[in-house]
Each structure stands twice: as C-alpha cells, then as structure tokens.
Amino acid sequence: MTDLTAKLTRIANRAVRKAQETNRQKGIPNLYIINGKQVWQLPDGSFTNKNPF
C-alpha cells in the first residue's frame, strides 16, 4: 500500500466513523451489509435484519 493510499484510507475511515456517530445522535439507524445481508444498527446499539423504516 502506498503512503497516499494509506493516508486516504485513514481519512475515509475517520469520515465514516464520524457519520455513524452523527446518525446515532440523531436517532438514525446505520445500515451495514454483512455476508450479503442488510443489517441495521439501531441508535441504542442493537442490530436487526428488519428494515426499521
């Protein structure tokens, strides 16, 4: 991995973590794809495979 790639990866990871935390604070679930399936992390930290909307 080049230095530029590593730096961009760190910046992107920080941005994603910040967006996830902002969603939690606003009560918005975070959506993840795990083993090809959609999984929502609810603001209380629990996970569900049912669409919360």
- SS3 per-residue string spanning 1-53: CCHHHHHHHHHHHHHHHHHHHHHHHHCCCEEEEECCEEEEECCCCCEECCCCC
Alpha carbon distance 48, 53 (integer Å): 12
The pLDDT of 6-13, averaged and rounded, is 97
Structure tokens at 33: 């794809």
The pLDDT of 12-22, averaged and rounded, is 97
Q: What is the pLDDT of residue 1?
A: 78
In this model, does residue 8 exceed pLDDT 90? yes
